[in-house]
A and B are shown apart, each in its own frame.
Chain A
Amino acid sequence: MNNTFEVVKNCVEEVLSMNGAEEVEIRFDSKIVHDLGMKSLDIAQLIALLEIQYEKDPFSEGATLANVITIADLCKLYE
């Protein structure tokens, strides 16, 4: 889990820094939209980066966005 969290965290940081967002603490229980302030395009980018990182697209395998609220939810999809 720790490893997955680190990878997801790095990807979130990459997206946020690329898009000029203010620095924010990324925790396991951080809410992607409410706490991290990510917009739809940011989340789209994050998922694309994770797909490249893991060579896996959980959303084409049945995962739904409605169940992805926190970083922890996201980590679960790639573990």
Chain B
Amino acid sequence: MDWIRERLQSCEDEVALIEDDRQYLYSDFMKHIQEWTERLQRDNVKEKEVVAIFGEFCAEMLFSMFALIQNGNIVVPISLEKKENLESMLKVARADKIYSFQAETIAFENLKNSQSHELIEQLRKENATGIMIFTSGSTGEGKCAIHKFSNLIYKARKQVKRKALKSLVFLKMDHIGGINTIFSVLFQAGTMVLIKDRSIKKVCSLIEKNQVELLPTTPSFINMLIISGAVEEYDLSSLKLITYGTEPMPTTTLQTISQLMPNVKIRQTYGLTEIGIFSTKSKDNSSTWMKIGGDEVEVEVRNHILFVRSPYAMLGYLNAPTPFDEEGWYNTNDEVEVDGEYFHIMGRKEEIINVGGEKVFPVEIEGVLAQLPNVLDVVVQGKKNPVTGQIVTALFQLIEDEDEKAFKKRVIEYCKKELEPYKIPRIICISDKNFIGTNLKKKRL
């Protein structure tokens, strides 16, 4: 891992990291990694061991991750929100040791693990470092994807020609998008701005204060950015690029944000925990159509579903059968439309609602419904039905209280003008709960 040290050393006078009011130059960053290397020795953390780092995403956690990678470990970042499943996650990961970062203290524990897994052994035999990432399963700990570190950062390692934009690390360290941001920025002499509170107010004030240039985020967050009026309230003029991924983008949201922030380039990214983040190229700023692939990554559409084959994909899951077919293709379960070289992600196959044989994509309906006045957020889902197989339901979160009957009437009148009958939500409910989960994606119940 000498090249990492060399890469960081080559820009030692640049600012690597901003956390709260503290700035770390690349030289500081390396000093902290060295301190962590010494700590690992004191704690008898041996090469090739599986080490979990758990807690609120902070600079110390980041230093520890770099030190562990340099030490030849397999790292398992786990964010604080996963606290409930921590024990089972550690078991699945066959973690030998854990560092917990909570309330300014760092605790170390030897987990006395005696289990291993063939994929862990594979990495050990190759003398390779690794990173494990858990998918955000609807229940329990999710699936544990094990990646070879060199594969995960192949793109970031290659990019050296230009300095990375000053980026807000919006996605967390235990998310494939978060990992991608960290290495893309740090291997290109960029500056990362860390954030703990991902509320609109905090994100916008950090952008304003630190003159952030790149915001990697999710469509749900962009929606909130529009609805909250924060674009007018804060000075976000430093932003040059907003990237979004992780869930389908409603066309209306994309068009609105492009109008509100005409000087900001909006780019869609595409990636999955299992196969990493791919190179993409959007048709234009307000288009959800993009080219996917390159860098030896192959894409194929079978029966409207996107399949991907990449030499940089994960090795496999530690707690589920391999999702790759015999030829190494991965079924993304994303239904797509194709126009020449461009793809449009319609939605996850399992989220598509089938109303009497007609397909309804929740994200499309959500985009239409979100345009209604007094709507803060909306989740559209299918409900099993004996007549049409499924019907469309919509659960709204409102900005201000409104009479339910009058609201439903308003929704229906609007839908009749905007949607085909089978797409109109037949069950309309109002909730006071937040629909955006800890992964900053919309929660589909």
A47 at the interface (CB under 8 A from B): yes
Give the contacts of B377-424 with A (CB-CB under 8 A).
383-388, 391, 393, 408-409, 412, 416, 421-422
Verify A40–B427 contact, CB threshold 8 A. Answer: no
Q: Which residue of A lies closest to B385 (CB)?
A: A44
User: How far apart are B249's CB and chain A's nearest CB, in angstroms?
Assistant: 28
**Most chain A beta carbons < 10 A, residue from B383, B388, B409, B412:** B388
Contact of A52 with B388 at beta-carbon distance under 8 Å, contacts A18-B412, A41-B422 already known: no
Verify A49–B427 contact, CB threshold 8 A. Answer: yes
Verify A65–B427 contact, CB threshold 8 A. Answer: no
Verify A41–B386 contact, CB threshold 8 A. Answer: no
B356 at the interface (CB under 8 A from A): yes
Grouping DSSP codes into helix (H, G, I), strand (E, B) and loop, the B interface class, with mixed when no group exceeds half, is: mixed
Q: Which residue of B lies closest to A19 (CB)?
A: B412
Contact of A41 with B426 at beta-carbon distance under 8 Å, contacts A47-B387, A48-B385 already known: yes
Verify A45–B391 contact, CB threshold 8 A. Answer: yes
User: How far apart are A58's CB and chain B's nearest CB, in angstroms?
Assistant: 9
Contact of A44 with B391 at beta-carbon distance under 8 Å, contacts A49-B427, A52-B427, A59-B386 already known: yes
A43 at the interface (CB under 8 A from B): yes
Verify A40–B412 contact, CB threshold 8 A. Answer: no
User: 1/0 contact trace for A3-30 toward B, CB 8 Å?
Assistant: 0000000000000001110000000000
User: 1/0 contact trace for A32-61 toward B, CB 8 Å?
Assistant: 000000001101110111001000000110
The number of chain A residues with a CB under 8 A from chain B is 15
Interchain pairs with CB closer than 8 A, number: 43
Contact of A18 with B427 at beta-carbon distance under 8 Å, contacts A48-B391, A59-B386 already known: no
Verify B356–A48 contact, CB threshold 8 A. Answer: no
Contact of A43 with B387 at beta-carbon distance under 8 Å, contacts A18-B408, A20-B416 already known: yes
B388 interface neighbour in A20, A40, A49, A60, Cβ under 8 Å = A40
Verify B412–A44 contact, CB threshold 8 A. Answer: no
Verify B426–A44 contact, CB threshold 8 A. Answer: yes
Verify B416–A44 contact, CB threshold 8 A. Answer: no
Contact of A41 with B427 at beta-carbon distance under 8 Å, contacts A18-B408, A18-B412, A20-B416 already known: no
Bound complex: CA A12 to CA B386 (Å): 17
Verify A47–B385 contact, CB threshold 8 A. Answer: yes
Verify B427–A48 contact, CB threshold 8 A. Answer: yes
Using a CB–CB cutoff of 8 Å, the interface residues on chain A facing chain B are 18-20, 40-41, 43-45, 47-49, 52, 59-60, 65
Using a CB–CB cutoff of 8 Å, the interface residues on chain B facing chain A are 355-356, 383-388, 391, 393, 408-409, 412, 416, 421-422, 426-427
Contacts A/B (CB < 8 Å), 9 sampled:
A20-B416, A41-B421, A44-B385, A44-B426, A45-B391, A45-B427, A48-B383, A49-B427, A65-B387
- If A47-B386, A48-B426, A52-B427 are given as contacts, then 7 extra A-B residue pairs at C-beta distance below 8 Å, sorted by A number, are A18-B408, A41-B355, A44-B426, A47-B385, A48-B385, A48-B393, A59-B386
